[in-house]
Structure 1
Amino acid sequence: MAMWVFGYGSLLWNPGFEVAEQRMATLPGYARSFCMRSIHHRGTEAEPGLVLALDEVADARCDGVALRVSEGQEDTTLAYLRERELISSAYLEKMLEIGLADGRRVTAVTYVIDADHVQYCGGLPLEEQAQIIARAHGGRGPNREYLLNTAEHLHALGVADPDLDWLARRVAAISA
């Protein structure tokens, strides 16, 4: 059986594993937002950044991509993703059903926020998010780079995300 991974943030532009197939996909019941404080990759414990996570929200949907893992690479890919995504246990690994643009429904490895975790910060005003993202920097680089890469890739895929677009413009203005 094929292994699928749902990408909605950095997995869009940096999956880090061999992708055999990529399809546009939708995950119902979750919303993409900057609701996780980043203390490793895009910030520090002293000055946390923000990264995207999937927050469970009734009637929401998140558009992203389904990435099919190359056959024979499932175990290696899962180990890689767990090391990358579960670094602080703020994400929960779930097997969730997603809808592919071609009509298929598949189960995908999906990383969603643990709303009870100390790094959860859902509901921050967009201006506050922009201020944090503009200044934060972590082990994988500036927080603004993460935002801009994600926004650019969503545009390239034809996925509208008005909050990310606003944040990209605002962070660019703050950083200028």
Structure 2
Amino acid sequence: MWIFGYGSLVWKPGFAFQSSKIGFIKGYKRRFWHGDDFYRGDKERPARVATLVEDWDAHTWGVAYEVTDSHAEESLQYLNMREVVLGGYVTQTVEFTPKDGDQAPLLALVYIATASNPIYLGPASDKDIAAQVAVCSGKTGPNVEYVVRLAEFMRLFCPEVDDEHLFSIEAEVLNIFSDSGGIESPKQNAVLLKA
């Protein structure tokens, strides 16, 4: 079984896996349109986290994790609690294409939050999303960490990919923190990532 991660799963899968591959899925774009009132926000100030929105021309990059049969049930129980019960996501099966062009595409399970979810926040300008991200924090840390870690993953492992939505939100967040004397540059992001 393969599980595709495109948000926090790229740096914090939290389940046992045998191997991982960087690559992409087609037909979806990553958007910070889903609310999170547990991990990165709370009931008063829901955070903005990534989900997938259908777009036939788009590609979303992330990591696919191979889970062995012996760990499948345990991994799915963990992910269903993390992503479905607490996160409001549903599962779909998608075709994942590894970055290494010599490998054939494979089927992977992916978690997607849809507009029918009660904590779905929907579209907003990158500036408004960043303003929300900058002030939210939840059980696993600040919302800004989520954005910074995801942007760092893309720069390190998919440097040829311009994730315009993600990088624009990150830039707006950095501007907010720069104005208040906080995080000032992507170089300082690396310090946050190692914390």
- Please state how far the C-alpha of 1:58 moved relative to its aligned partner: 2.8
- Please state how far the C-alpha of 1:90 moved relative to its aligned partner: 2.6
Query: Following superposition of structure 1 onto structure 2, how do residues 85-100 of structure 1 map, counting pairs within 5 Å?
Result: 85-88=83-86, 90-100=88-98
Query: Following superposition of structure 1 onto structure 2, how do residues 4-153 of structure 1 map, counting pairs within 5 Å?
Result: 4-88=2-86, 90-101=88-99, 102-153=102-153
Structure 1 residues 45 and 164, CA, compared in 2 at 3 Å: closer, same or farther? Answer: same
Distance 2:93 2:168 in 1: 31
Percent of residue pairs bearing the same amino acid type: 32
3-state SS of 2:18 partner: strand
3-state SS of 2:12 partner: coil
Unpaired runs of 5+ residues, structure 1, are none
How many residues are aligned here?
174
3-state SS of 2:120 partner: coil
Distance 2:155 2:5 in 1: 14
- Please state how far the C-alpha of 1:35 moved relative to its aligned partner: 0.9
Structure 1 residues 16 and 89, CA, compared in 2 at 3 Å: closer, same or farther? Answer: closer
- Please state how far the C-alpha of 1:26 moved relative to its aligned partner: 1.6
- Most deviating of 153-162 and 24-33: 153-162
Distance 1:40 1:27 in 2: 27
Partner of 1:166: 168
Q: Which has the higher strand share?
A: 1
Q: Is the 2:39–2:140 contact (alpha carbons within 8 Å) kept by the matching residues of 1?
A: yes
- Please state how far the C-alpha of 1:91 moved relative to its aligned partner: 1.1
Distance 1:89 1:20 in 2: 25
Q: Which has the higher helix share?
A: 2
- Please state how far the C-alpha of 1:34 moved relative to its aligned partner: 0.3
- Please state how far the C-alpha of 1:89 moved relative to its aligned partner: 6.0
Q: 4+ residue runs of structure 1 moved beyond 4 angstroms?
A: none
Distance 1:155 1:18 in 2: 25
Unpaired runs of 5+ residues, structure 2, are 183-195
- Please state how far the C-alpha of 1:170 moved relative to its aligned partner: 1.7
Distance 1:83 1:148 in 2: 24
TM-score, normalised relative to structure 2: 0.83
